[in-house]
Each structure stands twice: as C-alpha cells, then as structure tokens.
Amino acid sequence: MPKRLALWFAFSSIILLTITSITLSSNGWISLLCAVLAFFNVGFGFMFKAKYRKQAEQQAAAATNPVESSQTAK
C-alpha cells in the first residue's frame, strides 16, 4: 500500500473516532454514525492493504518465474 494512502486511512480513522468521542455526550445518533463510518473506514483500509499486498506478491512471483507466468498467460 502506498504510504500516502496508508496515512490517509490512519488520519481519517483518527478524525472519525475523535468526532465520535466528542459527539458522544451531545448527540448519540451522530456519534453512532461516525462510529459506523470509522468502522468501515478501517475495514476499507485493510481491504486496500490486502489488495496491494496480493498485487505485490503476484508481481514478485512473475519476476522470479517469467517462464511459468508467460505460459499461464496464454
């Protein structure tokens, strides 16, 4: 995962959780909404991380075995 994208997910999760904690005492519905958004934001971060890791593993496997990868591509 690129560093900027990882930083974005980390920063946005912290902001959402901070907003959740601030609004917890004033409005329960907004804090619940922010908590759900934070949950999905963290989930999307893990999803993108797994996607980028899988792409990197496939590229590494293709680089180590160029003959096998060219045969499977046909």
The whole domain housing 67 covers 3-73
pLDDT in tens, 16-36: 999 999 999 999 999 999 999
pTM: 0.74
- Number of domains comprising the chain: 1
Please report where in the chains the tokens 């995962």 appear, as a residue: 1
Higher pLDDT, 24 or 68: 24
Q: How far apart are CA 7 and CA 32, in angstroms?
A: 24
Exposure b/e, 9-19, CB count within 10 A at least 16 = b: beebbeebbeb
Cβ count within 10 A of residue 20: 19
pLDDT in tens, 2-16: 899 999 999 999 999
pLDDT in tens, 35-58: 999 999 999 999 999 999 999 899
**Tell me, what DSSP letter sits at residue 27?**
-
